[in-house]
């Protein structure tokens, strides 16, 4: 497994070779740990001066899901979101967990009464009415979750097309935005359960990103999640697929972490990102300051590994397979998939899911 510092050196060397501007001295000067950390910080902080990540071939709606608690869903959603936006991609983070951890980590108000995802799911608000700016980047916006969302699973039971509430909200939001403001990425932070909230996320997304903690029991319960995703694909959202696995909280000092990582790679193959997120204390400290680790300690290994993971995610998004034609109950009355542009010269048109039917609106 490549050390993130090593990867950084290689990437810097490649940049220098390509004649790109690299802030500060050359990589050969960085042989002490402190100097390396300073270099990494420069690299992250001056992200905007470097080559931006490539835009995806269509808007990517990614649900970050794993019903196992504490595996790094929120941490990954937040830090990938910040990394994508620091490297030039418009990103919307939707906090779909009543705990509101993603909102906290992005420093977004989420006390009771704050316009939030609850108002869009259970009430009549549009996402544009509940979206908040973040201090991490002007390109990053967040729809917070308040504790009201805890009741949503029950309140949604009697709502028409309850599994489609988030999907419809995202579609309407994307359609209403001018091209130049449309996000490239929508990341949905799911709660640790397979209830109606996670179901809404799986129906809303084109893809699932599963963070897997490099610990014993990591794969336990994963079969249940994969089964649920299959069921959603068959009956509600033919486009959904697991496209990314991210190994989190890797502790290089333990054999166990390597064994888990190897097992996950054997099982999921190319879906697993090469970048691995190390267990790093700065990652766990950052939310306490309402920040991502990229802004809290840009020189930390946690920060650089999330940048690497986001870079891979972005590179894999350049030529996504087209979304399958709608089928199953969800598509019975649906019109053909529309196209939606991202507003970037180099970004292709973006197929979007079918819009809400007259029956569902009633």
The footprint of Mg ion (CB under 5 A) covers: 73-74, 101
Range 121-150, binding ligand ATP (CB under 6 A): none
**Interaction between residue 206 and ligand ATP (CB under 6 A):** no
Q: Which of 57, 63, 85, 101 binds ligand ATP (CB under 6 A)?
A: 101
Between residues 202 and 350, which has the closer beta carbon with respect to Mg ion? 202
**Interaction between residue 100 and ligand ATP (CB under 6 A):** no
CA distances, 274 to each of 41, 197, 218 (Å): 21, 30, 18
Cβ count within 10 A of residue 263 = 14
Residue 340 C-beta: closest distance to Mg ion, Å: 29
Residue 103 C-beta: closest distance to Mg ion, Å: 11
Q: Which of 52, 107, 192, 354 binds ligand ATP (CB under 6 A)?
A: 192
Range 262-291, binding ligand ATP (CB under 6 A): 277, 279-280, 283-284, 287
CA distances, 324 to each of 180, 182, 234, 250, 341 (Å): 26, 22, 12, 35, 18
Between residues 66 and 304, which has the closer beta carbon with respect to Mg ion? 66
Residue 282 C-beta: closest distance to ligand ATP, Å: 8
> How wide is the angle at C-alpha 130 spanned by C-alphas 126 and 135, nearest 5°?
145
**Interaction between residue 324 and ligand ATP (CB under 6 A):** no
Residue 277, binding choice from Mg ion, ligand ATP, none, Cβ under 5 to 8 Å by partner class: ligand ATP
Between residues 70 and 336, which has the closer beta carbon with respect to ligand ATP? 70
Residue 192 C-beta: closest distance to Mg ion, Å: 7
What's the CA gap between 184 and 329, in Å, rounded?
Answer: 28
What's the CA gap between 145 and 98, in Å, rounded?
Answer: 6
* 195: DSSP letter: S
Residue 279, binding choice from ligand ATP, Mg ion, none, Cβ under 5 to 8 Å by partner class: ligand ATP
Token pair of 87, please? 């490297």
Residue 71, binding choice from Mg ion, ligand ATP, none, Cβ under 5 to 8 Å by partner class: ligand ATP
Instruction: Give the distance, in angstroms, between the CA of residue 289 and the centroid of all CA atoms in the same chain.
Output: 21
What's the CA gap between 113 and 148, in Å, rounded?
Answer: 9
Between residues 261 and 340, which has the closer beta carbon with respect to ligand ATP? 261
> Strands of 140-143's sheet, edge to edge?
132-133, 140-143, 91-95, 185-189, 60-64, 207-213, 241-248
Q: Which of 71, 122, 260, 337 binds ligand ATP (CB under 6 A)?
A: 71
DSSP 199-268: HHHHHH-SEEEEEEESSTTTTTTHHHHHHHHHHHHHHT-TT-EEEEEEEESB-TT-HHHHHHHHHHHHHH
3-state secondary structure of 93: strand
3-state secondary structure of 96: coil
Cβ count within 10 A of residue 63 = 29
Residue 254, binding choice from Mg ion, ligand ATP, none, Cβ under 5 to 8 Å by partner class: none
Between residues 126 and 284, which has the closer beta carbon with respect to ligand ATP? 284
Residue 309, binding choice from ligand ATP, Mg ion, none, Cβ under 5 to 8 Å by partner class: none
List interacting residues with ligand ATP (CB under 6 A).
Answer: 69-75, 97, 101, 192, 248-249, 277, 279-280, 283-284, 287, 302
């Amino acid at each position: 497994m490549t050390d993130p510092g090593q990867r950084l050196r290689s990437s810097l060397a490649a940049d220098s070779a390509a004649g790109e501007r690299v802030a500060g001295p050359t990589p050969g000067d960085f042989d002490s740990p402190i100097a390396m950390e300073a270099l990494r910080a420069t690299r992250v902080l001056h992200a905007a001066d470097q080559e931006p990540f490539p835009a995806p071939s269509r808007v990517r709606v990614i649900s970050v899901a794993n019903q196992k608690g504490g595996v790094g869903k929120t941490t990954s959603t937040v830090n990938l979101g910040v990394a994508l936006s620091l490297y030039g991609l418009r990103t919307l983070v939707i906090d779909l967990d009543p705990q509101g951890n993603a909102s906290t980590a992005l420093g977004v108000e989420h006390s009771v009464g704050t316009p939030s995802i609850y108002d869009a799911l259970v009430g009549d608000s549009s996402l544009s009415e509940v979206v908040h700016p973040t201090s991490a980047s002007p390109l990053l916006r967040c729809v917070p979750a308040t504790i009201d969302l805890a009741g949503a699973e029950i309140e949604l039971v009697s709502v028409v097309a309850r599994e489609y509430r988030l999907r419809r909200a995202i579609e309407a939001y994307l359609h209403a935005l001018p091209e130049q403001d449309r996000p490239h990425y929508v990341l949905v932070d799911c709660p640790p359960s397979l209830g109606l909230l996670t179901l809404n996320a799986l129906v809303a997304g084109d893809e699932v990103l599963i963070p897997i903690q490099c610990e014993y029991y990591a794969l336990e319960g994963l079969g249940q999640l994969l089964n649920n995703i299959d069921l959603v694909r068959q009956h509600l959202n033919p486009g959904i697929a697991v496209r990314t696995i991210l190994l989190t909280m890797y502790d290089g000092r333990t054999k166990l972490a390597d064994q888990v990582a190897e097992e996950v790679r054997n099982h999921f193959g190319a879906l697993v990102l090469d970048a691995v997120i190390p267990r790093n204390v700065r990652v766990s400290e950052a939310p306490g300051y309402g920040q991502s680790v990229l802004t809290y300690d840009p020189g930390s290994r946690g920060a650089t590994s999330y940048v690497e993971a986001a870079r891979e995610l972005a590179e894999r998004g350049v030529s996504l397979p087209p979304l399958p034609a709608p089928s199953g109950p969800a598509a019975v009355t649906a019109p053909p998939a529309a196209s939606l542009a991202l507003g970037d010269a180099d970004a292709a048109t973006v197929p979007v899911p079918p819009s809400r039917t007259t029956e569902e609106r009633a």
